[in-house]
Amino acid sequence: MDTYLTITGNLTADPTQRLTAAGATVVHLRIASSGRKFDKAAGEFRDGDPLFISVSCWRGLAANVFATLRKGDSVIVHGRLLYRTYDDKHGARHNVHEIDAIAVGPDLSRYPAELRRPVRQADAPVRPESSPETAKQDTETPANPVAA
């Protein structure tokens, strides 16, 4: 069973983009997140310990993240939590948690964002399937009815 989570934080660097050997676009980013707690004795909020986590975005999401976000931006990331281990070049074993993002967006509680929707072409008119009657009508209709 997969574990999904949503995390808010700030980008620690500009996102980086690359193509896989199969031609898929992937963007990597790293976010820092820390909770805040109210310290009753001091009468103020204190930052908790920071969490740094890497995030991978694929295909269309990757392109949008790469075109939109920059270092320092406050973001909300929702995705699948992954765990992996690897050995570095010195032979030391590392355990890593990462997020495979499903959705990434600006944190609107921190600043306003301007949304740009993609321009879509108007739907082409749907023609009925060709039948002998419609084919006959198509050939009988002049190409320029005004000139006829």
Under 8 Å between Cβ of 5 and 99? yes
* pTM, rounded to two decimals: 0.72
With b for 16 or more beta-carbon neighbours within 10 A and e for fewer, the 89-103 pattern comes to eeeeeeeeebbebee
Closest CA to 31 of 4, 10, 17: 10
Q: What is the pLDDT of residues 122-140, one digit of tens each?
A: 755 555 555 455 444 444 4
CA-based angle 26:27:29, to the nearest 5? 150
Q: What is the pLDDT of residues 50-62, one digit of tens each?
A: 999 999 999 999 9
CA–CA separation, 137 and 55 (whole Å): 58
Structural domains in the chain, sorted by start: 4-112 (2.40.50.140)
